[in-house]
Amino acid sequence: MNINPTVSEWLNLIARWVHVFAGIMWVGTTYYFTWLDARLTEEEKAVANVKSVDPLMGWLRKPEVWMVHSGGFYVVEKIKAVDEKGKLVDLTSHPLHWFRWEAATTWLSGFALLIILYYLGGGALVDRDVSEISIGAAVGVGIGALVFGWLIYDLLVISPLGRNEKLFAVVAYLLVVGAAFGLTRVLSGRAVYIHLGAVFGTIMAANVWMRILPAQKKMIAAIKAGQKPDDALSAQAKLRSKQNTFMAVPVVLLMISNHYGGNTTGGYDWIHLAVLVPLGWLAAKFIRRA
């Protein structure tokens, strides 16, 4: 299917504008809360040390982070669902702010770009020097990669393997390299990059909407019912959020990959991805500790 070039350009511009800005908001929020959680964890340890030396001073000091921005001073405190006295947190006194539409907007606009740039016409999707696959079949491969990428990832996380982060990372890396190699056999070099990025983005967005938010809603429902929320729900949400921060850096690389000249094409794109993706994970590890 072909559309008017002028219409295509405008759709491309608008979708890309929305996609990039929503991505900035999503990744920025994700890393801000990652940084905030790390600082608050340090404060909790510091308070615990004070309590061990001087219980009175320990009880007076709260684990909180002080910040300054745009001429204002801010104090952020992390509140547990159940305090040390067994009292549930009060969720009715103040409005609860959610962070979810950034992920949905980023994914929807990204999928729109995938359709506009790769699926309509298919000229950028298939390289006849690589494969004689039909456009329809190539589109099926692309969408199938998104669906099965999420399903395989999710099954691995909820399996016993998901409890061993290092082993999970090794298996995930091998699967990423395998997927990259397989896609280079049927799609163009640029399409491989953008589809692998779309797989990561789909996993990240699905983590937010299908795992993190439902877990948080169950915790809130339990608190409002006067029950202690399941600690496993909190751990699940935190693990998925942590994994999203590691995927975010490679995703940005893969998002912008179609803007360079495609010099890696020729069937060896999977080798470059095998190097660049773990470099992104390593960068994310340093960013998380900053």
Give per-residue pLDDT as tens, 63-81: 888 898 888 898 888 877 7
Model confidence at 261, pLDDT cuts 50, 70, 90, reads very low
Residue range 86-100: mean pLDDT, rounded = 78
Least confident range from 101-110, 118-127, 193-202, 228-237: namely 118-127
pLDDT surpasses 70 at 83: no
Tokens of 79: 């509140």
Q: Which of 18, 88, 84, 91 is nearest to 51 (CA)?
A: 84
Q: Which of 78-82, 85-89, 242-246 has the lowest mean pLDDT?
A: 85-89
pLDDT band for position 211 (cuts 50, 70, 90): very high
Q: What is the pLDDT of residue 95?
A: 82
Q: Give which of 174, 131, 130 is closest to 152, Cα–Cα.
A: 174
164: exposed, middle or buried (Cβ count in 10 Å: 0-12, 13-18, 19+): exposed
Spatial distance between the Cα atoms of 24 and 27, rounded to a whole number of angstroms: 5
- Please, what is the angle between helix 101-114 and helix 189-206, to 10°? 160
Tell me the average pLDDT of the chain.
Answer: 86
Say whether pLDDT at 158 is over 70.
yes
The percent of residues above 70 in pLDDT, for the chain, comes to: 91
Give the pair of three-digit tokens for residue 171. Answer: 């298996």
**What is the pLDDT at residue 182?**
92
Q: Where are the domains positioned within the chain?
A: 5-289
CA distances from 131 to 184, 187, 221, 228 (A): 9, 7, 52, 56
* pLDDT tier, 56 (very low <50, low <70, confident <90, very high otherwise): low
The model's pTM is 0.88
Is 184's pLDDT higher than 60? yes
Amino acid 285: pLDDT: 86
